Amino acid sequence: MNNINFDVIVVGAGHAGIEACLATSRLGLKTLLVTSNIQRIGYMSCNPSIGGLAKGHMVRELDVLGGQMGIAADETTIQYKRLNSSKGPAVRGTRVQNDKHLYSSFQKEALLNQENLTVLEGEVKRLVLDKDICRGVVLQDGSEIHAKASIITTGTFMNGVMHIGLKQESGGRVGDKASIGLSDQLAEFGFEVKRLKTGTPARLLKDSIDWSKTIPQAGDEKVYPFSYRSSDKLKLPQILCYLTRTTESTHDIIRGNLDKSPMYCGLIEGVGPRYCPSIEDKVTRFSDRDSHQTFLEPEGLTTDLIYLQGISTSLPEDVQDQFLKTIPGLENVKVARYGYAVEYDYVEPSQIWHRLETRTINSLFLAGQINGTSGYEEAAVQGFVAGVNAAHRILGREEFILGRDEAYIGVLIDDLVTKGTREPYRMFTSRAEHRLVLREDNTIDRLGVLASKLGIVSSASLGILSALHEKRMLLHARLKETKVYPTKDVQELLLKIPTTALTKSLSFEELLRRPEVSSFDLEALNFSVDKDANVFEPVEIEVKYSGYIRRQQELIEQSKRLEELLLPPGLLYSEIRGLSNEERDKLQRIKPRTLGQAQRISGVNPSAIQAIMIHLKGQKKLKDVVVEPAP
């Protein structure tokens, strides 16, 4: 491979790398994917599942834009659940359990058959840098491969160290060695490189579990697939998961062995995930709890391995054996692989632009856990955005940036770039201030037009998108235009729903706005509704929440005024009067693109935004802006 040229090089074939290389190759660019192990493409190192609250939103957004994760998840689902189904539509989330081996095989097949894409098994040791421009990579064997852009998606592998008790071993996960050299080179170049930690639970042999002491957990019968291209009839047999709980005995054993935990005896420096704590953290932080639930989740249809969800640990193997056997159903359990922690390097993400290109090295893009995130979904969407922007840079197109009001993907990247992170970042619906308009059900309406402009989605798939959007628009128009009158027959039917009788004629949209009336109730009133949930559900939600959505759109319009005010790239905050030293330092380091982004930087006060606006007006670099008094 020495001295071979590509348009784009992608390093790493995890969830971020997959989306990055598919995006660039589907945009017609000659792409090289370098991975240390071709057999581990798209491997689910931790929980064999895709989606969840807010994560499911991102998978759907990625699918509409032309990503791969949604279709792969649908094809390999072995249990489907819609989380928060009884709550409001903004916080519902799709989550599926996957056959991890079939998922990996599906993704591997997609890459090996993708036009313009070459997959190479090897290890990248360092970047080829020409001053502040990345020109390619150097492999372990000394081969130098050149490219117009490079995307690093190394996951937990950069200087990765695995911990089990007081034992340490180099590696990003069991069976795969760490990536050594890249983060050291980035640090030498001036990047702020830090350490994070994640963990995984033990894998158990299913025949050693007493299932009678656990509670079966079935999936949902009604399925809303991630991809608009998928059938709502799942392809694989559906399985049960099982619920059990830790006990006081479990906690006593863990508390009695904290001195053997690398987290508690100082061996691990990296910060762990706040929202996915180890069992040691749970027992310590929530000492008032006498038990914690855990789900026993099969890793596939043809494997004997059971994933012990919620019990990640890095305690020694003998201690794991002890506390596992205090959990109901696991009294005689046999462990196939013990839990462990992984400590790894990441690049503080305020050092990248929204397009995911680094601020100090041109043509170098970072995506996934290297940017401080946790989770397959967070990684995948970053990979896609990095891939599109790397391609756009080469093709001379404008940068691809999603706003916070357009997609959860936009919220994720803006949070990383604007606020940085000191712990593994995980997406939640609470992070999105405009979540009522960023629902799972309206992803097509939000991003369909943008998908057609990007040019990654096939014409056949765009046809499906367009047809769904048109059906929704038609149904909504009919609801507005068609009237229902207070005849005797209508009043009797309304009482059966039951809902109050009419005092005057209404549009069907006004009738559907009533909380107790559903789309199906309209059928009895001779108003036909498309039976496809992809059509009627988003329209019904739009109707019922129209007042709230209208108010949120007004807030979005207000915030857009600041988002549209671009700041000059070379703006010197040291010259702006009225800023504190902290504000100057943060603004100069993060270099916000817009006034809106500047406003979201922690420690930058409203008075600072006012000072920036006054300065720019004085420099005649900002026009038609009304400067209001600081609150």
Query: In this predicted model, what pLDDT tens digit does every residue of 164-203 receive, in sequence order?
Result: 998 999 888 887 888 888 999 999 999 999 999 998 999 9
Mean pLDDT of 95-101: 97
Statement: residue 625 has pLDDT above 80: no
- Model's pTM, two decimal places? 0.92
Statement: residue 569 has pLDDT above 70: yes
In percent, the amount of the chain with pLDDT more than 70 equals 97
Residue type, 286: F
CA 397, CA 469: separation in Å to the nearest integer? 27
Statement: residue 620 has pLDDT above 80: no
Handedness of CA 523, 528, 534, 539 (dihedral sign): negative
pLDDT at 263 (0 to 100)? 79
Q: What is the pLDDT of residues 463-491, one digit of tens each?
A: 999 999 999 999 999 999 999 999 999 99
pLDDT at 628 (0 to 100)? 41
Q: What is the pLDDT of residues 204-222, one digit of tens each?
A: 999 999 999 999 999 999 9
pLDDT at 333 (0 to 100)? 97
Statement: residue 629 has pLDDT above 50: no
Mean pLDDT of 126-146: 95
Mean pLDDT of 543-567: 88
CA 406, CA 449: separation in Å to the nearest integer? 12
pLDDT at 2 (0 to 100)? 67
Statement: residue 264 has pLDDT above 60: yes
What tokens appear for 42 in the block?
């798209």
Per-residue confidence band for 631, with pLDDT thresholds at 50, 70 and 90: very low
Statement: residue 622 has pLDDT above 70: no
Mean pLDDT of 305-330: 96
Statement: residue 624 has pLDDT above 50: no
Per-residue confidence band for 607, with pLDDT thresholds at 50, 70 and 90: confident
Helix axes 459-481, 443-454, angle to 10 degrees: 140
Helices and strands (H, E) in the chain, number of each type = 20, 22
Of 228, 250, 267, 266, nearest in space to 321 by CA:
250
* Burial class of 580 by CB neighbour count within 10 A (0 to 12, 13 to 18, 19+): middle
